[in-house]
Amino acid sequence: MRVINKIYLHCTATKGDETGDVSVETVRRWHTSEPRSWSDIGYHYLITRDGTVNVGRPIEKAGAHVLGDNATSVGIAYTGGLHAETGIAWDTRTPEQIKALKTLVNALREVFPTIVSVHGHNEVSAKACPCFNVSAEYVNFNRGARGNLCECG
């Protein structure tokens, strides 16, 4: 098993309404076709608007979600990230997605005690993704707190 020490949060950069609630298979098709031509979906998990956590790339395999940091990280994306009317970058997470993200982060931390931090893709790339302030929302996690992340931020 690979050593995992970080989690990166992403969005699919789709509209934050029902039209942007894409499936793992849709994102897999985006990632495996031209121009990317990756071997699989880049994310390990994809969370849909209803809070369902879908498995993407197997956790045993390095993702394709953060250039230069895939080998030791997990990639989690939520569907959405664009304002439904304007199409600009926006925090479109539903309450169910917010809860599912934090529950999944906590579960991964239990399985992989080597995970020490959670980051947004925008911290290491010139992108708006995941369209919310991860460092503020997960501040207690990144400070080493081991409590319930649903109370973070």
For 59-93, how does the pLDDT look when each residue is reduced to its tens digit (9 = 90+)?
Answer: 999 999 999 999 999 999 999 999 999 999 999 99
In a domain, 60, yes or no: yes
Predicted TM-score (pTM) of the model is 0.92
Tens digits of per-residue pLDDT, 97-149? 999 999 999 999 999 999 999 999 999 999 999 999 999 999 888 766 554 44
CB 95 within 8 A of CB 136: no
Spell out the residues 6+ positions from residue 143 whose beta carbon is closer than 8 angstroms to its own.
none
Residue 51 lies in a domain: yes
For residue 18, the enclosing domain spans 6-143
The answer to the question of residue 153 being in a domain is: no
Overall number of domains in the chain: 1
Q: Which residues pair with 7 in a beta bridge?
A: 74, 118
Catalytic residue list contains 31: no
Which of the following is catalytic: 8, 10, 119, 152?
10
Task: Tell me if 70 is assigned to some domain.
Answer: yes
Q: State the alpha helices, DSSP H only, in 1-153.
A: 24-32, 95-111, 134-137, 139-142
Does a structural domain hold residue 1?
no
Residue 89's domain is classified under what CATH number?
A: 3.40.80.10
pLDDT in tens, 5-24: 999 999 999 999 999 999 99
Catalytic residue among 15, 44, 102, 121: 121
